[in-house]
Each structure stands twice: as C-alpha cells, then as structure tokens.
Chain A
Amino acid sequence: MTQIKNTAALAAHALECIRDDRMLFSHLEFRLEPGSALVLEGRNGSGKTSLLRILCGIRLPDGGSVTWGDTAIDKLGPDYLMHMAYVGHRDGVKLDLTPLENLAMARALGMPNEITLEDALEKVDLAGFEDVLTRNLSAGQQRRLALARLLVTDTSLWILDEPFTSLDVHGISVIEELLDAHTTAGGMIAVTSHHAVNLQNTTVQRINLST
C-alpha cells in the first residue's frame, strides 16, 4: 500500500449528543493522529453509531465540534469528505449489481486511486465473484464487498460501524490485516465493534461510551 500523505488529525471538542431527550454522551474529547486507531466501546444504545455519524458529518452534534486539522468539518465540507470513507451498518451496496459495478460506483463518488477494482476484490477475498449479482453473495461476502469500497478511493480516515458483522474468523482476520496496513501507511481508523479489534502494529485508543 502506498504511503498516505495526510498529516491532519481528527479531534473532538466537548462533543455532546442527545437523542429522544436522553443524553448519550457529553464533554467527549479525543484526538486521532495519523497512523492510529480509535475503538469505540459501549453497550447497545450508548451512542456509538451516533458518534460515528457525527464524525462523518451526517449528523450534527448537539454541542461541541469535530475538527480536521484545525478547522471544523462542517466548514470544510468536500475538503473533509474527500479524505474520509464511511461504512455504516447498512452496506451501501446495490444487491442487483455485481461487485465490480458496485465498486465502480463507489470509486466514481470519491477520489479514485490506482488500484484496479479486481485487485480490491482480491484483497477482501472476493476474487472470482466479480460478475455474480451481489444478491447471491452471502451476508459475510456482502459485508466484505462493502469494506472493499474503502480500498478503491484515496482516503486517509476510515469510519467503520461494526465492520465485522456477519464475518467468519477468516474474514475478520482478512479485514484486520487491511486495517493494520492502512494505519501503518499513515491512515487513521475510527471503529465500533462488539468483537475485540486486534490491530498488532497500530496505536489504539479506546473510548467506552457506557461509563
């Protein structure tokens, strides 16, 4: 994987999120530097997904701000989005398209990089499934296809909501290797997971939203 040239850090300042009159979290502070990972833990409904959506800019925080470099992400707009890729709990792939067609679309929406779409599929262990309709893939394979979207654009920040859902042991280790390679190359990752996230070569900070 080629080295990522980004040096900006993602930081949260006094973040606050209220949902249905319930305070999910408040005064949340962290700083995510290039080359490191942030693992969000907490019980169901503790606001992990909400926090990730705030980090993407899909949802606005009820207080505080998220900055990229030194600028708030809502001011940066496309200049932030071009550095960021998000895989939510919905896969964001079309079941009636083939994996290749899905990746072509994902690539067109962002900043394309040099990797071929076939190589991206190979990296998530989907070689040979290029022309099968996504509908006919298993849940775990569909999940891996969603994660392959991360590889086809040039982004430094990956925001992942439960990336290991429906993956088997082998699938998890394949994805963990990808994540490790991404941070080693200077990228950064914000991830929620019920599974232990095993990143050997990465500085990992953990935040537990339940406490």
Chain B
Amino acid sequence: MKYFKVIGLAVAFCLAMILTNTLICHAYEDTQCFKCHTSAKKLIEATREIAKTRPALKSAETSGEG
C-alpha cells in the first residue's frame, strides 16, 4: 500500500510539472510580442509604417573607413 502511495505521489508530481510547463509555454506564446514578432507579415506592415515617419538615423556626410 505504501508503495502505491509513493508511486501515486510521484506520478502526480510529474503531471503537475508537465502541466505547469505547458501552461508557461502557452502563456509565453500567447503574448502580443510573440504573436507579432513571429509573423513576417505583421512586421513588414509595422516596419513600413515606421519608415514613413522615422527620420534618417545615419548622416549622409560620413565618409571613409571607420
């Protein structure tokens, strides 16, 4: 009987760990950050929008080897 209890506890512990890990992964993958940054289509749209308003980042006057 004692062995059944120990085995039962071990199985319950493993199940809990697996479920927790799955939930964490799901929580992570469900964020807006992940959804957008893993979608090339969404990123192309966003970066095009940024490019319309964003000023130049590098000066055209730079010349020679750095």
Question: Do A and B bind?
Answer: no
